[in-house]
Chain A
Amino acid sequence: MARFVIRRLLQSAVVLLGVTLVVFLLLQLVPGDPVRVALGTRFDPQTYEALRARAGLDQPLVVQYFNYLGRALTGDLGVSFRSGRPVTAIVLERLPATLSLAFTAVVFATVVAFPLGILSAIRSGSWIDHAARVFSQFGVSVPDFWMGIMGILLFAGVLGWLPPSGYVALTEDPAGWASHVALPAATVGLVTASILTRFIRSSMLEVLSEDYVRTAEAKGLRTRVVVLRHVLRNALIPVVTVVAVQLASLLGGVIVIEVLFAWPGIGRLTYDAVQARDYPVLQGAVLLVAALFLLVNLLVDILYARLDPRITVR
């Protein structure tokens, strides 16, 4: 197990190295010049040259990349082009908001999707099964920003139960945090829940048709016991992966929703950085998200080995 973890960590380091190169090269292909954006319409060639030189953008690409890499290895991801602040600090201070949104959304999604998915599998063809399918279809096909705006108009506007936007840190004021996270998390969670519901339903149906389930039923066990003891445990193993993948993708920030709800997470940071062509911040954000993704994957694999005795890690 320990050897497996060490090997995976080494592999992850190689992947991250690749990520730095790919992101660096991709950014060179994206049209748009950060210096021009910074100056806007008050453009002056002298100022332009001075600013370019200060940002090191006048160096050859190879030099730029290796300078970046050399510093990155010491944990220094450079400074933001827009604000002049260290990228590491900028990216890390956006992490709590994204983490709280991602985890709350996943909790919301599982709370909704598990009962719905399980019931629609057990009562296949009943009204609840149809309702669950309509719900999934709705959640996957309706654009999330529209859902978000409707949520704001209803819960903040008409009912006045929740603030329309903004963020309060959990450590500062838990109640304030909960009221602010509820709407964006529900908006994101609805989409996740739709995906999960379908997956749980099909996974359950698959297990329900297994031989051992028929054996258990033939033994005269009650349906509830069969479902809880035999079906659920086996059906949920692949679901764990899907939940983890969903979580990992949310950790990258949810750009549209974060912008809509004025949520200070990685998604909004990425959006602003793209607008300004703030290369160092973009590179930092992508690196962090990639690292989180790899970490979640590793944890899932370890968890898998625990859940399913047929799988061994080597």
Chain B
Amino acid sequence: MSSTRFRMAGATLALMLGALAGCTTGEGVDVDGADGASAGGVLNAAIGGEPDQLDPHKTSAYHSFQVLENVYDTLVEPDTNLEMKPSLATGWTTSDDQLTWTFTLREGVTFSDGSPLTAEDVVYSYNRIIDEKLNNAYRFGTVKSVAAPDPTTVVVTLNAPTPNLLANLGGFKGVAIVQKSNVESGEVTTKPVGSGPFAVDSYTSGDSIRLVRNDNYWGEKPKLDGVTFTFVSDPTVALQNLQGGEVQWTDNLPPQQVAALLDGDDPTVQSVPSTDYWYLALNQAREPYDDVNVRRAIAFALDREAITKAAKFGLATVNQTAIPQNSAFYYEYAPFSHDVNQARQLLDQAGVSDLSMDLMVTSEYPETVTAAQVIASQLEAIGVTVEIRTLDFAQWLDEQGAGNFDSFMLGWLGNIDPDEFYYAQHHSGGTFNFHKYANPTVDRLLDQARTETDQAARKQQYDQVAKQIVDDASYIYLYNPDVAQGWSKQVTGYEVRTDRAIRFRDVALAK
């Protein structure tokens, strides 16, 4: 009896070994016999995690938007300089009172299943977000109504002038135009139907999502036959996949290796400054952090260069305000030199000594864990003992919401308009103002800038906001990280974007 089982096991092993010997590494790319760069083929891309779901209005995960960027369209979309350009809408006019925006839609646009996309679909999509209070409802805060007088016209009526309406309607795919029947059948979560360059072909839970070229696409047809996204959490493994040829693109690179990879030419690795910012926030509902001198002392005690070097291996730009240099709204202001004596004096003024500060970071973003250790050693120099608490993100968010922290470190990702950089975080009624900053001047300026239609005046208001926030050390800004992505030599026509949108529509894959 036992001997037969041995034989069976042996046979299984022999089978396995035979299969191993017979397989080659790296699935060859299926090329449809054509020649040259327009050979089609399927691009394999490794992303760091699985989308929670594919309904663009309900997901908030970056991994979802990496996929959906290629599946859906918005009325307008950001170009490489993050200026809003026509997409589904070819043009728009604004009434004199700035309260009525009229969009003209592109003719002959269809969803990937061939059904027409009309103004009704735009109205349906926007009303769905507003009525069901979905994640991006806040972007429609000033919208009174959305109407479709005819199939190619959308009229958005506002309660107040909204200079950043275009950014709200096209900043990212969370406000995409969806298909009513696809939503009502519930298929939108796994088999969404959009009008973008690719369409979802299949979704294997835990493993991959396959996109195929949308032959009904209104724009220039993609050269690729399709894109397959696989979910590889471990950056070392993702890089191994890229180097071994199993994937041709990934953004999940080990941070400590990026600098070396930037110098090589295979794989191609490029980085650009992003619009994200990372910061330290002190809880102003707690003593002594309600004292501006204490907050400024901590801002003076930090050596941002050292923090950035440790946390990002140099792949970031130190910044003392939120908005990065490459934005039109950048405001050059850096009052905090690394000055331990100044920091000590400020603490003395505040009458604070032997301070023990709790610093909350999350394993979801390992850079916060690394940065916390550097921050702790720097604050030790001014007599502040930092107690680092590393939590998983769910618990971290709980604690933050309940105000159970002295300080925390986090980042804001993918912002375009200055309103996104400042309002929710620093307005006393802001939805993300968990550190309880309240300054009437800042409140007034933020409300004013929200509806200011004169660009120059608006820029000035945000400059004032930025200066005040930095002076008050509402957030102690640290750096703007770079976006680094890598792809194989076969890939042409791809570029890294500062808003971290992943667009494969212009990409070609050589043999």
Residues of A within 8 A of B (CB): 31-34, 36-47, 49-50, 82-85, 90, 93-94, 97, 104, 107-108, 110-111, 114, 149, 152-153, 156-157, 160-167, 174-179, 182, 228, 232-233, 236, 259-265, 268-269, 272, 275-277
Contacts and interface: CB of A to CB of B under 8 A. Distances in A.
B26 interface: yes
Contacts of A33: 394, 397-398, 401
B352 interface: no
B2 A236 contact: yes
Nearest to A271: B233
A45 to B, nearest CB: 6
Contacts of B3: 228
Contacts of A111: 9-10, 13
A268 B206 contact: yes
B181 interface: no
Nearest to B246: A163
A153 B207 contact: no
Contacts of A32: 392, 394-395, 397-398
Contact of B22 (A162, A175, A268, A276): A175
A166 B207 contact: yes
A307 B398 CA distance: 54
Contacts, number: 184
Contacts of B240: 152-153, 156-157, 164-165
Nearest to B16: A178
Contacts of B397: 32-33, 36-37, 40
A44 B2 contact: no
A178 to B, nearest CB: 4
Of A43, A233, A269, chain B has the most CB atoms within 10 Å of the CB of A43
B2 A259 contact: no
A149 B136 CA distance: 40
Given A166-B230, A262-B207, A46 B137 contact: yes
Nearest to B399: A31
A83 B191 CA distance: 12
B244 interface: yes
Interface of B: 1-3, 6, 9-10, 12-13, 15-16, 19-20, 22-23, 25-26, 49-50, 52-53, 55, 58, 60-61, 132-138, 186, 189-190, 204-207, 230-234, 236-237, 240-241, 243-244, 246, 364, 392-395, 397-399, 401, 410, 412-413, 424, 431-432
Contact of B233 (A40, A176, A262): A262
Contacts of B55: 84
Contacts of B50: 272
A157 B241 CA distance: 9
14 contacts: A31-B395, A46-B137, A47-B137, A156-B25, A161-B25, A165-B232, A178-B16, A179-B23, A233-B2, A259-B233, A259-B234, A260-B237, A262-B234, A275-B364
B190 A178 contact: no
Contact of B246 (A107, A149, A164): A164
Contacts of B61: 40
A262 B230 contact: yes
Contacts of A94: 205-206
A152 B382 CA distance: 46
A300 B424 CA distance: 59
B43 to A, nearest CB: 15
Q: Dominant SS at the A interface?
A: helix
Contacts of B53: 82-85
B237 A152 contact: yes
B10 to A, nearest CB: 7
Nearest to A272: B50
A40 B60 CA distance: 7
A92 B378 CA distance: 51
B19 A37 contact: no
Contacts of B241: 163-166
Nearest to A236: B2
A97 B206 contact: yes
Nearest to B410: A41
Given A94-B206, A166-B230, A277 B394 contact: yes
Given A83-B189, A264-B204, A163 B26 contact: yes
Contacts of B410: 41
Contacts of A104: 16
A164 B6 contact: no
A131 to B, nearest CB: 21
A269 B206 contact: yes
A-B CB proximity, top 3 nearest: A264-B206, A32-B394, A178-B19
Contacts of B9: 107, 110-111
A164 B230 CA distance: 13
A32 B13 CA distance: 45
A36 B13 contact: no
Contacts of A166: 207, 230, 232, 241, 246
B432 A46 contact: no
Nearest to B434: A43
A38 B233 CA distance: 19
Contacts of B206: 93-94, 97, 263-265, 268-269, 272
B186 A179 contact: no
B394 A84 contact: no
Contacts of A176: 23
Nearest to B189: A84
A164 B206 CA distance: 16
A123 to B, nearest CB: 19
A141 to B, nearest CB: 22
Nearest to A159: B25
Given A37-B394, A83-B189, A43 B432 contact: yes
A160 B204 contact: no
Contacts of B15: 178
Contact of B207 (A47, A161, A264): A264
A231 to B, nearest CB: 11
